[in-house]
Structure 1
Amino acid sequence: MSTPDSTALAQQMSTRFAFLITGLAMSAWAPLIPFVKSRLAIGESTLGLLILCFGIGSLLAMPVTGMLVNRYGCRRVITTSLLLMCISLVCLAISPGIPGMAINLLLFGMMLGGTDVAMNMQAVVVEKASGRSMMSGFHGFYSLGGIFGAVVMSALLWFGLSPFHSLLSLTAVLLLMLAYSAKDLLPKAESETSGERDPFFVLPRGKVLLIGSLCFVAFLSEGAVLDWSAVFLNTLRGIDPVYAGLGFACFSVAMTIGRFTGDKIVNALGGTRVVLWGGLCAATGFLLVVFVPHSAAAFIGFTLVGVGASNIVPVLFTAAGNQDSMPMGLAISAVVSMGYAGLLAGPAVIGFIAELSSLSVSFGIVALGLLALAALAKKATTK
């Protein structure tokens, strides 16, 4: 017979597994992209449109997942989404033709988006029950999965396995992890106890709109480093393309370490100070990259961005779950959707601004956005 303490620990562990599995599945796609491009014999523009299908799928699923979780529970939604995500992940290696790949990427994106909202709803409920900050640690497992997923897939491909067999091997591990942890996922959502059903979709309002806007800025800064740091280092700092990706590596390692230490920091300083100082640290990183014309300064700057940004989103997600202007499920859906809009659309906007001026100007604008985020930290994170 399980005790309350053992049940809570099992729910916390199942939440960590959900974040880890999602990070592993998400990152497994990246090493596959060159193989997809070669197999389908397509150019960069067509490949870009296919990748856009992934983003569209995520944004389609995120706004309605909160309602689905409130009706069917975290366990059903997370388990179903992860199962379909694993199936679609394997199919990415064998999808016939461009239409088939587009449909599969749309499904993969939808399942990832749905899982992202549902597991963050589970994380908010589990964190509340624990009485302490846990969100950063949960997101740390997503980051850890992102690192290991890319490394494992790259290693399997390097050892000579085909993309299909590589994905099949990884997916088998993901399904075993899901089978082990699914029973401890929350059977229902917190808001189901009220006896009322949330509407299918509502526009964000009040504090949720503010929190979502700050998430947009935070995710945009992450997307800026992901998509543009290597280009910046190569074109403006003269670093060889082989080493230009190290800027993102510095950012990723700093973010992962920051998230695994973030819960202690949030418990010690409070969410408001973490968002305030995190925004200032990330902004300082971008300004260092822009204004100090040396490659070492750029690497330090991207590291500072990772440190500063690491715990902003987890704290904002917790704030979305604790506010009272919207039901928790709808609030998490709205905030996650707005955040990922920044991750997906932001880099394109940065590229457009860079085309009109320079990439330095684009990074400078991102820094200003992070300073605004820091200024609004108290308003967003306090009731």
Structure 2
Amino acid sequence: MTASVLPHVSATGTTEIRATRLLFLIVGFGVAAWAPLVPLVKVRAGLDDGTLGLLLLCLGIGSLAAMPVAGALAGRFGTRPVLAAAVLVTGAALVVLSRAGGLPVLAAALTGLGIGLGLLDCLMNLQAVAVERRAERPMMSGFHGLYSLGCILGAAGFSALLSLGLTPAAAALAVVAAIAAAFLAALPGILPALGGESHGPAFARPRGPVLRIGLLCFVVFLTEGSALDWSGVFLIQERGLDPARAGLGYAAFSLTMTVGRLTGDAFVRRIGRRRIVVLGALLAAGGLGLAITVPLWPVTLLGYALVGAGCANIVPVLFTAAGRQDAVPAALAIPAVTTLGYAGVLAGPAAIGLLAHATSLTLAFLVVAALLLAVAVGARRLRT
């Protein structure tokens, strides 16, 4: 990416760095606030599992529709107005989801939540690329660590509010108020022109280095999705763990990923971005192999912890690489890479389920491990 594409960041950068961290926290909060509402929506609307699954697709549809055009919208209307609209849509959607019981309203609100979070996701990464570039030191892992921390705090906070007796609507309003306060605090440090030039295509078909980076992101996000959706099933089905403890696999994964990201910038400075991707992919593949080959559930948990540690800093490094390549402007490259990565979250777990149905869950996870080895090989061509 050429220097002319990057917006100017102040010499100190303190305000911009703080704003970037708050944006990542906001997205983590928004994502996490939806998770405790899912079972409540299911009961309130009287949905069976199949209908709920179709409803959940609306979140992905909204995000995939918004992500490719986020940079172009910021270039045309300005970053702050687009982010403000995204926060407004996200907050309104969460409030509606906490109250609505009709399927059409729920579908529209969940699509809106996807649109808001999709725009926020792309623009926070564009801001992070610009701030990191100006600071001339690795910062992306720490930014993504704040997203992971926001997910943990958001889910725990929302659940705590519900346990204190607040209604879902009141809890949602509290979360939306926290998001609005964080956005207002971030506003002075949000760069006014992340999108670059306002003319040109609204989005670009990934090609060259952007396509390679996007495919690497696809695999890593697929791995994260498999841990979220299938680790509990594997622990119950293959390790005989009690269902009440099945969430320990994803908890182990999330803990090491969050810690890895919050401390990852120091490792990036020490060993370099390319080695982070290679070693991280190898560690994640080894952890997954350990989880599925040793028939002891504590070892399976250790394996998932290694997967989280290995994956932790790969995506932040890949976003930095997408911002630094010069084949496609950053305002188009970041949304393209984000979209490909998010497609891995959506399509990956479904593909694992189909493969597990045709063969076994163990074999499906072996395929994921093999894809992680391919990431390690592909990282050799990564321009850092």
Question: By how many angstroms is 1:149 displaced?
Answer: 0.6
Question: By how many angstroms is 1:191 displaced?
Answer: 2.7
Contact in 1 for aligned 2:74/2:195 (Cα 8 Å):
no
Find the counterpart in structure 2 of residue 344 from structure 1: 346
Question: By how many angstroms is 1:190 displaced?
Answer: 6.3
Q: Residue 35 of structure 2 aligns to a residue in which SS?
A: helix
Contact in 1 for aligned 2:71/2:194 (Cα 8 Å):
no
Find the counterpart in structure 2 of residue 51 from structure 1: 56
CA distance in structure 2 between the aligned counterparts of 1:381 and 1:80, rounded to whole angstroms: 34
Correspondence 1:82 to 2:87: yes
Q: Residue 112 of structure 1 aligns to a residue in which SS?
A: helix
CA distance in structure 1 between the aligned counterparts of 2:92 and 2:104, rounded to whole angstroms: 18
CA distance in structure 2 between the aligned counterparts of 1:180 and 1:339, rounded to whole angstroms: 29
- 1:52 partner amino acid: L
Contact in 1 for aligned 2:15/2:188 (Cα 8 Å):
no
2:21 to 16, 27, 31: 16
CA distance in structure 2 between the aligned counterparts of 1:190 and 1:102, rounded to whole angstroms: 30
Correspondence 1:170 to 2:175: yes
CA distance in structure 1 between the aligned counterparts of 2:242 and 2:221, rounded to whole angstroms: 27
Find the counterpart in structure 2 of residue 320 from structure 1: 322
Find the counterpart in structure 2 of residue 189 from structure 1: 194
Find the counterpart in structure 1 of residue 239 from structure 2: 237
1:295 to 294, 297, 301: 297
Find the counterpart in structure 2 of residue 152 from structure 1: 157
User: Which residues in structure 2 correspond to 1:28-47 (within 5 Å)?
Assistant: 28-47=33-52
Find the counterpart in structure 2 of residue 225 from structure 1: 227
Question: By how many angstroms is 1:78 displaced?
Answer: 1.9
Find the counterpart in structure 1 of residue 6 from structure 2: none
- 2:241 partner amino acid: I
Q: Residue 236 of structure 1 aligns to a residue in which SS?
A: helix
User: Which residues in structure 2 correspond to 1:253-268 (within 5 Å)?
Assistant: 253-268=255-270
- What does the per-residue CA deviation read over 1:97-122, in whole Å, with 9 as the maximum and x for residues that have no partner? 00100011001001101110011001
Contact in 2 for aligned 1:133/1:263 (Cα 8 Å):
yes
After superposition, the Cα gap between the structure-2 partners of 1:166 and 1:281, relative to the gap in structure 1 and judged at 3 Å, is: same
Question: By how many angstroms is 1:76 displaced?
Answer: 2.4
Question: By how many angstroms is 1:4 displaced?
Answer: 4.0
Moved more, 290-299 or 302-311: 290-299
- What does the per-residue CA deviation read over 1:346-368, in whole Å, with 9 as the maximum and x for residues that have no partner? 00000000000111011100000
CA distance in structure 2 between the aligned counterparts of 1:218 and 1:359, rounded to whole angstroms: 18
Contact in 2 for aligned 1:282/1:304 (Cα 8 Å):
yes
Contact in 2 for aligned 1:316/1:381 (Cα 8 Å):
no
Question: By how many angstroms is 1:96 displaced?
Answer: 4.2
- 2:300 partner amino acid: A
Question: By how many angstroms is 1:72 displaced?
Answer: 2.8
Question: By how many angstroms is 1:74 displaced?
Answer: 2.6
Contact in 1 for aligned 2:215/2:341 (Cα 8 Å):
yes
Correspondence 1:246 to 2:248: yes
CA distance in structure 1 between the aligned counterparts of 2:378 and 2:85, rounded to whole angstroms: 37
Contact in 1 for aligned 2:203/2:332 (Cα 8 Å):
yes
Contact in 1 for aligned 2:44/2:101 (Cα 8 Å):
no
CA distance in structure 1 between the aligned counterparts of 2:96 and 2:228, rounded to whole angstroms: 25
When normalised by structure 1's length, the TM-score is 0.96
Q: Residue 99 of structure 2 aligns to a residue in which SS?
A: coil
Find the counterpart in structure 1 of residue 331 from structure 2: 329
Find the counterpart in structure 1 of residue 309 from structure 2: 307
Question: By how many angstroms is 1:69 displaced?
Answer: 1.9
CA distance in structure 1 between the aligned counterparts of 2:141 and 2:87, rounded to whole angstroms: 21
Contact in 1 for aligned 2:72/2:195 (Cα 8 Å):
no
- Unpaired stretches in structure 1, ≥5 consecutive residues: none
Correspondence 1:132 to 2:134: no
User: Which residues in structure 2 correspond to 1:91-102 (within 5 Å)?
Assistant: 91-102=96-107
- 2:185 partner amino acid: Y
Correspondence 1:207 to 2:212: no
2:356 to 338, 354, 357: 354
Question: By how many angstroms is 1:70 displaced?
Answer: 2.3
Find the counterpart in structure 1 of residue 285 from structure 2: 283
Correspondence 1:114 to 2:142: no
Contact in 1 for aligned 2:79/2:195 (Cα 8 Å):
no
Correspondence 1:104 to 2:74: no
